[in-house]
Structure 1
Amino acid sequence: MDYAGVLTEGPELVELVRRVRAAGTPTALVTEANTVPDTCAAAFDLVVLGAALGVRKPDPELYRRVAARLGVPVTGCVVVDDHARNLRGARVAGAVVVHHHDDAMTIAEVAALFDLPA
């Protein structure tokens, strides 16, 4: 999941991440930002800032490396971002993508993908 433009709008999406994680799915925050609030970072198993893994969005290799760090195949990952170009890189890597437009739509889509109540 991206930080700026997605998780900065309100607490609902961070709560969604907590629900996904509580259901047993590893989670990652991948952002071009240099810092994120601790309260947000604590909701994730992995936080990747900037080019910490040697590549940046939208390079498909970034999503492969994040999946490897989480111990899951990239084809089992869901990437949420508000920029289509970043989602193209995730899709090329093999991830399922959700284009964030507003919280309610993103929550509904992600909840459906993980069989969680919206």
Structure 2
Amino acid sequence: MFRGLIVDYAGVLTDPDAGDLYAAIDGLRERGVRTALLSNAAGGGSAKARLSAFFDALVFSGEVGFAKPSAQVYLITAERLGLSADSCVFVDDSRGNVAGAVAAGMAGVHHTSVESTLTELSALFPA
């Protein structure tokens, strides 16, 4: 059973239909799923204030010293959620980053559209 959802920002949460993803993230949090944003950005800047309402943890590669697809950045993110890697699902639009998360022990979802990602998340986090 998965207890954590980790999501990339650029390419996933910047999708034109991302409002539906934000709603799904809110719904999962209401069900007790821990959520994190994992970005290869240098730092959060103003994004931290805007995104902190949706996530239990915000991890930026420039702040932790490891970037996707390094296994270490996924493990740091899971740790910040208080979870093991194998209880987390990672969503990214880069196949290489998804492969890195899977190698670190997570389940991976390759984001190609909001609709397909929501379908996969509903299968991984059944109501």
Q: Same fold, TM exceeding 0.5?
A: yes
Runs of 4+, deviation exceeding 4 Å: none
Q: What are the Cα deviations for residues 45-90 of structure 1, in whole angstroms up to 9, with x where unaligned?
A: 0011233222111101111111111111100000000001111110
Aligned counterparts of 1:99 and 1:115: Cα–Cα separation in 2: 19
Structure 2, unpaired ranges of 5+: 1-6
Aligned counterparts of 2:59 and 2:49: Cα–Cα separation in 1: 13
* 1:30 aligns to 2:41 (yes or no): no
Q: Which residue pairs with 1:12 in the alignment?
A: 20
CA RMSD of aligned residues (A): 1.4
Greater relative contact order: 1 or 2 (C-alpha under 8 angstroms, separation 6 or more)?
2
* 1:58 aligns to 2:69 (yes or no): yes
Sequence identity (%): 38
* 1:80 aligns to 2:91 (yes or no): yes
Please identify which structure carries the higher strand content: 2
How many pairs are equivalent? Answer: 116
TM-score normalised by the chain length of structure 1: 0.91
Structure 1, unpaired ranges of 5+: none
